Structures are given as C-alpha cells and as structure tokens.
C-alpha cells in the first residue's frame, strides 16, 4: 500500500498548504506549462523519456520498464543528494507528473519512505489543467475592470505600472505574455510562453487580486502576439469602461524609438515584422524604410508605421468598441512628469468610476 496521501485539490489556497510543489516530468514538459511555483525534479530527462518510449513501442514493454526504472532510481537518488538534501523532516511536498502515474508514484513512494509527509496529485498535471480551463473558459468572473486605451506609443504600459505604485490593482497582460502587444511587440531573444503557461500565469495573477476592488488593464486585441486572451477575461474586457490616453503623433513616434529599441537594433526582426503587416508594403515603401534603418532614422520609421498601420488599426477598433469612455487624459509620453500626472489622473477616474480604492 502506498505510504502517501493523494488529492485532486489544486486551487491557489490548496497549493499554498505545501512546502513545495514538485513536478517530476521531463524539462521539456515542464517548460510548456507547470503548476504555479513548481520546481522541476525530473525522474526521466528528455532524452531518457524518449529512449524509454522508443523501446516500449519498438522492442519490449518489459525492457522499457526495466531501463526506465534504472533511470528513475538514479535520478531520484541524485535529487535526494542535491535539491532535497537540506529539506527538514517536516517537509511536506505535493508531487505530480503528467497524469499521476508511474513517474510521480515512484518519487512519492521513495520520499514517503524517507519519512516526509508526501501528497500525490491524482490525475497529475491534467487535473490542474482542467482547473485552469474551467476557471478561464467556463466560469464567468465578476471583475471590476477599467481599461487604459489609446494609440500605440501613448505610454499605456508605463502608466499601468505607475498605477500599481499608487496602490491601484493592475493586471499586466503583456508582461504575462512576454510581448508588447503590437505587430512589432516581440521581445528580442525572448520567445513567448506557451498558451497553457500564459493561462497558468494569468490565473495565478487573477488569484492574487481582490475581485471586490477595481482592476486596471491595458486595452488589448484578443491576441497578444501569438497568445489568446481566454474568453472569461476577454468578455469582461469587451464591456469594461475605459480611459483614453491622448498623445501627439510625433511624441508617440519618439517614445516608440525608446520602447522598441531592441527591435530597432535588429534589422532581421524589423524585416520579419514588415512581413507580418496585414497590408504588404510596396517595394518602394519597403526600400524607403530600409533607408531609414540604415540612416538610424528610427523616429521617421516609427512615424511611417503609425501612419500606415498603427493608427488606422486603432481607429477601426475604436469605432467598433461599444464600452463607455469615462475620461480622456492628455499625455506627453516622452515626459516622465506628464506620465506621472496621467497615472494620477487615471487613479482618480478609477475611484470616481468604482468608488474608493
């Protein structure tokens, strides 16, 4: 009989009861998504998992299990001698694998024999994934959202973060998605998290917020880069009141030069972004843009893209939006004092719209 307990409880409060959440899946599986705060102590690494799977399919189930058991035993021994070496006798971990099968059972069995009060997640990662899906796709949330809206380059993200410093609750979707939300918004050298990991991060962030208090979110499209905003939140955003930031075009172009400096420094990334424009630029226009890049005239390039793509796309979306606008704030995005004043203005509108913070 197993010497450990089992559970299917995976809410934030449930997970907080454990000293550690241990994911024993391979590093590649862990990278795609994992429970919040989990540490990866694989019982089979990526290569070993592939090896055992191949032997299982092509040769023998028995041989695969014998070779796999040897890998698992060595890996668990290494974890006991390294990552788990300093854990006290009272250490209380939750352990999971893909579906609560042999990998997590092996780790849970050995750790319980050490004397630790171990709990195994029944159904493994799939149990947690069902919880995320139910929370973000199936169960509407009564959220008091206010959106910061405005043309690209109006310092929305910067002002959002300043609101947090003022004590206003915020939800930074672009930070969670690791993308600046626009056509040129990919972060150089930083791929986006998987859709599942983005949703895990989003649910974790929502769980830290007080639903009785207002939450400020930057107005976004339904997708942030390649990551889709889940329906429960997207539907709430569609009807949320919004504050519009109004900034001069020239100032917005200059702001974008600084905010998108990593992309501006990478001609290949710029060319790839040009390819993603919904209306392909003519050969003449593209040549002119390349000339601006070669000359370092990035403000001119930003202005050209504002005229061709960003402002027309924003204006089309604004015409379709039916949510109320509760205020408009003029901001000079390149002026820190102006951004700070705009943040205070948004905070005031939050209070006027929803009551005291």
Task: Cite the active site residues.
Answer: 97
Calculate Rg over the CA atoms of the chain.
25
**Phi, psi (rounded to 5 degrees) for 214:** -65, 150
Strands annotated E in the chain: 5-7, 20-23, 39-40, 93-96, 119-121, 145-150, 169-171, 215-218, 223-224, 227-228, 242-246, 325-330
Q: What Å distances lie between residue 73 and 40, 63, 77, 287, CA to CA?
A: 16, 15, 6, 61
Strands of the sheet with 242-246, listed across from one edge: 169-171, 215-218, 145-150, 242-246, 325-330
Residues 6 or more apart from 201 whose CB is under 8 A from it? 176, 193
CA–CA separation, 140 vs 200, rounded Å?
A: 17
SS3 (DSSP) at 240: coil
CA distance 328 to 342: 10
Query: Where are the alpha helices (H) located in 276-335, listed in sequence order?
Result: 283-295, 298-305, 311-320
Buried-exposed string 155-175: b where 16+ CB fall within 10 A, e elsewhere: bbbbbbebbeeeebbbbebbb
Q: In angstroms, rounded to a whole number, what is the distance separating the alpha carbons of residues 298 and 301?
A: 5
**If you search the block for the tokens 């092996």, which residue do you land on?**
106
Nearest in space to 36 (alpha carbons), one of 20, 50, 48, 51: 20
Helices (H) and strands (E) in the chain, counts: 17, 12
How far, in Å, CA of 244 to CA of 317, rounded? 13
């Amino acid at each position: 009989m197993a010497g450990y307990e089992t559970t299917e409880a995976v809410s934030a409060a449930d997970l907080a009861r454990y000293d550690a959440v241990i994911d024993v899946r391979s590093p590649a599986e862990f990278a795609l998504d994992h429970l919040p705060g989990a540490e990866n102590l694989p019982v089979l690494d990526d290569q070993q998992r592939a090896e055992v799977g191949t032997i299982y399919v092509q040769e023998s189930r028995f041989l695969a299990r014998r070779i796999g058991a040897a890998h698992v035993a060595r890996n668990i021994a290494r974890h006991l001698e390294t990552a788990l070496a300093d854990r006290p006798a009272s250490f209380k971990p939750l352990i999971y694998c893909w579906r609560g099968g042999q990998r997590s059972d092996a780790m849970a069995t050995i750790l319980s024999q050490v004397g630790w009060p171990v709990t195994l997640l029944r159904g493994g990662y799939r149990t947690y994934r069902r919880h995320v899906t139910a929370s973000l796709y199936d169960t509407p949330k009564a959220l008091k959202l206010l959106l910061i809206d405005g043309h690209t380059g109006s310092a929305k993200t910067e002002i959002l973060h300043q609101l947090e410093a003022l004590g206003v609750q915020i939800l930074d979707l672009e930070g969670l998605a690791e993308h600046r939300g626009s056509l040129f918004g990919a972060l150089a050298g930083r791929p986006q998290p998987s859709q599942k990991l983005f949703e895990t991060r989003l649910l974790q962030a929502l769980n830290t917020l007080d639903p009785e208090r207002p939450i400020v979110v930057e107005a976004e499209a339904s997708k942030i880069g390649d990551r889709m905003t889940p329906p429960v939140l997207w539907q709430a955003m569609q009807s949320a009141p919004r504050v519009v930031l109004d900034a001069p075009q020239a100032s917005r172009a200059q702001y974008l030069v600084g905010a998108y400096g990593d992309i501006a420094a990478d001609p290949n990334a710029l060319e790839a972004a040009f390819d993603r424009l919904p209306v392909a630029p003519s050969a003449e226009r593209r040549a002119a843009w390349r000339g601006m890049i070669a000359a370092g005239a990035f403000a001119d390039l930003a202005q050209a893209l504002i005229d061709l793509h960003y402002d027309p796309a924003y204006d089309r979306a604004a015409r379709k939006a039916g949510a109320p606008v509760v205020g408009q704030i003029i901001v000079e995005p390149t002026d820190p004092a102006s951004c700070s004043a705009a943040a205070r203005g948004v905070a005031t509108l939050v209070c006027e719209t929803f009551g005291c913070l």
